[in-house]
């Protein structure tokens, strides 16, 4: 007699990129998976935590290239849960921080399938921290905003303009294609001298960092070929970190570039 299939779906946050930053609970969930559906931003090394016989399906999205639409991903999760049992949906960062995790959970639960969520370390806080940038350093920043650079309508979030008027540290995800617009909004508020850090492929061996100001950051990006996926950090806490620039230049690592753009 065949064992009865017991469908179950667990959303697991894969963390910011470094495979060691997966949570212990996330690793335990992967170890019990029958199927793993994983994103482009989830480190492939994490698949080693899943059983060798588990089915691994890449459902990642990159700019201009989607393996599956979101509707197809939702259906894949349900179909595999009903067919094989425990599905782990492995999503970069934290599954609920601009990750559409809530949409996937809602779709799965509409079929009566039990769901669980394992929070992940969000790149919005972990990537700056890995560079020694304290988003809320005492005496410098009392709050921070985390904003998507590109909305579902493919436009820059209107919240960026509001954030530019504040004294808060601003962290922008998925914003590299909108960098010129972001710069213009801060310049409009006479904040051209505000420090900016752009961290590409944060916490991974391919990490690259560019540091400048609102007025210089586009040149820094061009000179160092910085591109997505990257985190944009805007605020005085970045400037407070200038003492680290010399250290990284002396380090001469073959996987880390740090450039500081001056006027």
Position 163 scores a pLDDT of 96
- The catalytic site residues sit at 39, 61, 174
Q: How far is CA 141 from the centre of its chain?
A: 22
Position 65 scores a pLDDT of 57
44-52, long-range: CB < 8 A, 24+ apart = 45/19, 46/14, 46/19, 46/22, 46/90, 49/22, 50/88
Position 254 scores a pLDDT of 37
Calculate what percentage of the chain has a pLDDT beyond 70. 88
Distance CA 226, CA 204 (A): 15
SS3 for 117?
Answer: strand
Q: Are 197 and 240 in contact (CB under 8 A)?
A: no
Task: Name the band, by pLDDT with cuts 50, 70 and 90, for residue 151.
Answer: confident
Decide if pLDDT at 249 tops 50.
Answer: no
List pLDDT tens digits, range 14-50: 999 999 999 999 999 999 999 999 998 889 999 999 9
Task: Report the half-sphere exposure of 197 (CA within 13 A, side-chain side).
Answer: 33
Helical ranges in 110-226 per DSSP H: 123-130, 159-164, 179-188, 217-223
Low-confidence winner among 60-69, 78-87, 157-166, 177-186 (lowest mean pLDDT): 60-69
Position 247 scores a pLDDT of 36
List pLDDT tens digits, range 203-246: 999 999 999 999 999 999 999 999 999 999 999 999 876 544 44
Position 255 scores a pLDDT of 42
178: left (phi over 0), alpha (psi -120 to 50) or beta: alpha
Q: Which residues pair with 11 in a beta bridge?
A: 89, 117
Distance CA 205, CA 222 (A): 21
What average pLDDT does the segment 56-85 reach? 88
Task: Name the band, by pLDDT with cuts 50, 70 and 90, for residue 251.
Answer: very low
Decide if pLDDT at 164 tops 70.
Answer: yes
């Amino acid at each position: 007699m065949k064992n009865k299939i017991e469908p179950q779906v667990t959303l697991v946050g894969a963390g910011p990129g470094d495979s060691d930053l997966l949570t212990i609970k996330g690793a335990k969930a992967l170890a019990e998976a029958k199927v793993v559906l994983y994103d482009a931003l989830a480190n492939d090394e994490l698949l080693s935590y899943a059983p060798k016989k588990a089915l691994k399906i890449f459902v990642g999205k990159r700019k201009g290239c989607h393996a599956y639409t979101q509707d197809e991903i939702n259906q894949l999760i349900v179909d595999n849960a009903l067919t094989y049992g425990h599905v782990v949906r492995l999503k970069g960062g934290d599954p609920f921080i601009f990750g559409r995790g809530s949409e996937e959970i809602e779709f799965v639960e509409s079929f009566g399938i039990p769901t669980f969520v394992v929070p992940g370390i969000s790149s919005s806080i972990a990537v700056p921290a890995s560079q020694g940038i304290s988003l809320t350093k005492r005496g410098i920043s009392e709050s921070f905003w985390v904003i998507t650079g590109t909305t579902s309508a493919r436009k820059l979030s209107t919240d960026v303009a509001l954030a530019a008027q504040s004294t808060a540290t601003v962290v922008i995800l998925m914003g590299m294609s909108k960098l010129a617009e972001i710069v213009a909004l801060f310049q409009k508020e006479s904040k051209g001298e505000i420090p900016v850090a752009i961290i590409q492929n944060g916490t991974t061996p391919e990490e690259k960092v560019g540091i400048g100001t609102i007025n210089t950051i586009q040149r820094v990006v061009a000179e160092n070929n910085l591109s997505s996926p990257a985190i944009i950090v805007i605020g005085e806490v970045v400037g407070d970190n200038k003492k680290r620039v010399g250290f990284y230049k002396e380090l001469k690592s073959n996987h880390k570039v740090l450039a500081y753009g001056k006027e």
